[in-house]
């Protein structure tokens, strides 16, 4: 006989509060451990983590499985369904994912999908090809602490302990953080958010490797170029620092080492929920621009000398920020949101789905908007933009190398005006390279900048006879 390890909510809340306050501290460890299950249920967290619990209770995780006891538990009036579907709904014991219905098989005791589902968009019940086994296929991710050998869960839906681990010792330890899992490691999410159906491809993204450029050894010593590690780097290169930045909190990467996690799921998505769509901490565009923008104000420009900021994608996309008075120029993509091209179909690899290089039937980053053209023609445009940009960048680098070699031999070779022209050209070339799209974000702006760079370098070469 299947056992559902359910504990009354009031008992759990009381248990959590009492133990957190230390009441019953005279009980022996063995007695306490015998009386308290390893998984205590999300209600036990309510007493101390009220805000988190309140937000979580409104998320899809919390409502993944809803027990159908009263008529109002159903998403729509059962009597509005066709007669053959009403019969199926009368059997329903659980609502899964807000749309599918489950009932326990009298033969096997397993929860099975019924032949009906709720179409939220249409606001009606429709037929569904049920019959598959929820326990075998879905329960491990859509319930908490699923025990396949017993066909039992500790809690329906994705509760606190599905991500944080069993809470008994944390409660007995009066909130001891070492007794619970609480970090930004994306492996917690990847337990379920992976595979063909629920895959994100985050693992192959640059975000998944974002700490590598700023953590080169265990001691946070200077990198081979002598540049010291800075906590500010981790505001964009780690989940921990990024969330601290969004919250306006101080963050020390050194103090947090070696726990700094790359930019993963919980950097952008609030696991506890916050009322935003998809549990995003901010709008998707705001999240991208937090790091992929140098913050150059409208009318401003990159510095001509010194370090040009990196991750200048937003400024380049918008067509502004180049040095030397180059006219701001919006391109056809300037008003397109980042995720429209970089997260087609929810793909978290953030890589462009290049036309002609996607799987058969899959959507690419271009033709979903450019419906009047073929994937082949869009790929030809992309290749031309990037090839032209790359060729001009390579030519500029050769000119820069010639000039720098001459200056190394004669440090006073360039006068003040020539040095300004040279530094402006180098800064703008860095701007192009740091955008990293090879012109695809804003090809017209790229050509204006690179033509200016080419002209300026030619001017300097002619002045010094090189």
Q: What is the pLDDT of residues 104-116, one digit of tens each?
A: 999 999 999 999 9
Which residue has better confidence, 305 or 398?
A: 398
Residue 258, preceding bond cis, omega within 30 degrees?
Answer: yes
| Predicted pLDDT of residue 278 | 92
| Predicted pLDDT of residue 194 | 83
Which residue has better confidence, 17 or 295?
A: 295
What phi and psi values does residue 96 have, to the nearest 5 degrees?
A: -105, 130
> What would the pLDDT profile of 352-407 be if each residue is shown by its tens digit?
999 999 988 888 999 888 989 899 999 999 999 999 999 999 999 999 999 999 99
Euclidean distance between CA atoms 274 and 50, whole angstroms: 13
19 CB neighbour count, 10 Å cutoff: 24
> What would the pLDDT profile of 212-225 be if each residue is shown by its tens digit?
877 765 445 555 55
Task: Report whether pLDDT(445) > 50.
Answer: yes
Residue closest to 295 by CA, chosen among 313, 307, 280, 268 = 313
Q: Which residues contact 52 (CB under 8 A, 6 or more apart)?
A: 45, 272
Choice among 102-106, 281-285, 306-310, 325-329 with the minimum mean pLDDT: 306-310
- How many angstroms separate the Cα of 81 from the Cα of each of 71, 88, 117? 13, 10, 10
Q: Is 327 helix (H, G, I), strand (E, B) or coil?
A: coil
Single pTM value for the model: 0.86
* Helix ranges, 83-150 (H): 83-91, 134-137, 139-142
174-200 in b/e form (b: 16+ CB < 10 A) is eeeeebbeeebbbebbbeebbeeeeeb
> What would the pLDDT profile of 194-252 be if each residue is shown by its tens digit?
865 566 789 999 999 998 877 765 445 555 555 556 788 899 999 999 999 999 999 98
Task: Report whether pLDDT(7) > 70.
Answer: no
| Predicted pLDDT of residue 224 | 53
Euclidean distance between CA atoms 398 and 135, whole angstroms: 64
Under DSSP, the state recorded for 280 is B
| Predicted pLDDT of residue 227 | 55
**How are beta strands 155-156 and 143-144 bridged, if at all?**
antiparallel
| Predicted pLDDT of residue 459 | 97
| Predicted pLDDT of residue 362 | 86
130 near 113, Cβ under 8 Å?
A: yes
| Predicted pLDDT of residue 423 | 97
> What would the pLDDT profile of 42-76 be if each residue is shown by its tens digit?
999 999 999 999 999 999 999 999 999 999 999 99
| Predicted pLDDT of residue 31 | 54
Mean pLDDT of 21-41: 62
| Predicted pLDDT of residue 187 | 93
| Predicted pLDDT of residue 24 | 44
Confidence class of residue 261 from pLDDT cuts 50, 70 and 90?
very high
| Predicted pLDDT of residue 23 | 42
Domains and CATH numbers, the chain: 9-62+158-179 (no CATH), 65-139 (no CATH), 187-291 (no CATH), 313-464 (1.20.140)
Query: In percent, how much of the chain has pLDDT > 90?
Result: 77
| Predicted pLDDT of residue 226 | 54
| Predicted pLDDT of residue 28 | 47
The torsion defined by the Cα of 377, 378, 384 and 389, in degrees rounded to 10, comes to: 170
Mean of the per-residue pLDDT values of the chain: 89
- Work out the angle between the directed axes of helices 375-409 and 443-464 (0-180°, nearest 10): 20
């Amino acid at each position: 006989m299947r056992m559902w390890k359910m504990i009354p909510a009031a008992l759990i809340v009381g248990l959590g509060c009492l133990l957190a306050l230390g009441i019953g501290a005279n009980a022996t460890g063995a007695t306490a451990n015998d009386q308290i299950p390893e998984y205590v249920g999300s209600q036990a967290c309510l007493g101390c983590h009220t805000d988190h619990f309140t937000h979580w209770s409104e998320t899809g995780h919390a409502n993944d499985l809803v027990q159908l006891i009263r008529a109002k538990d159903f998403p729509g009036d059962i009597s509005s369904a066709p007669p053959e579907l009403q019969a199926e709904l009368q059997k329903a014991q659980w609502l899964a994912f807000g749309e599918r219905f489950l009932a326990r098989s009298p033969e096997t005791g397993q929860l099975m999908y019924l032949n009906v589902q709720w179409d939220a968009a249409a606001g009606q019940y429709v037929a569904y090809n049920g019959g598959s086994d929820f326990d075998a296929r879905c329960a491990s991710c859509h319930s908490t602490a699923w025990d396949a050998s017993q066909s039992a869960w500790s809690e329906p839906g994705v509760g606190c302990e599905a991500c944080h681990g069993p809470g008994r010792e944390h409660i007995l330890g009066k909130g001891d953080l070492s007794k619970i899992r609480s970090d930004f490691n994306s492996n917690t999410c990847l337990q379920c958010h992976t595979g063909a159906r629920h895959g994100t491809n985050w693992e192959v993204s640059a975000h998944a490797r974002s700490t590598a450029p700023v953590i080169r050894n265990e001691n946070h010593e200077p990198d081979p170029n002598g540049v010291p590690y800075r906590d500010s780097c981790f505001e964009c290169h780690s989940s921990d620092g990024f969330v601290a930045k969004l919250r306006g909190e101080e963050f020390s990467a050194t103090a947090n080492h070696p726990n700094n996690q790359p930019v993963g799921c919980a950097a952008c998505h609030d696991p506890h929920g916050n009322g935003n769509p998809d549990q995003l901490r901010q709008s998707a565009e705001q999240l991208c621009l937090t790091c992929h923008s140098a913050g150059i104000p409208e009318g401003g420009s990159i510095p001509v000398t010194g370090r040009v900021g990196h991750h200048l994608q937003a400024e380049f996309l918008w067509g502004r920020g180049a040095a030397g008075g180059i006219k701001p120029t919006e391109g056809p993509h300037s008003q397109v949101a980042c995720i429209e091209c970089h997260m087609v179909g929810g793909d978290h690899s953030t890589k462009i789905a290049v036309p002609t290089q996607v799987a058969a039937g899959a959507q690419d980053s271009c033709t979903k908007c450019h419906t009047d053209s073929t994937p082949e023609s869009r790929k030809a445009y992309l290749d031309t933009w990037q090839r032209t940009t790359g060729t001009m960048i390579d030519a500029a680098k050769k000119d820069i190398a010639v000039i720098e070699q001459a200056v190394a031999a004669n440090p006073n070779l360039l006068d003040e005006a020539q040095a300004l022209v040279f530094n402006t050209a180098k800064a703008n070339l860095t701007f192009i390279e740091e955008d990293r799209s090879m012109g695809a974000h804003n090809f017209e702006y790229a050509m204006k900048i690179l033509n200016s760079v080419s002209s300026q370098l030619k001017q300097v070469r002619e002045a010094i006879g090189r």
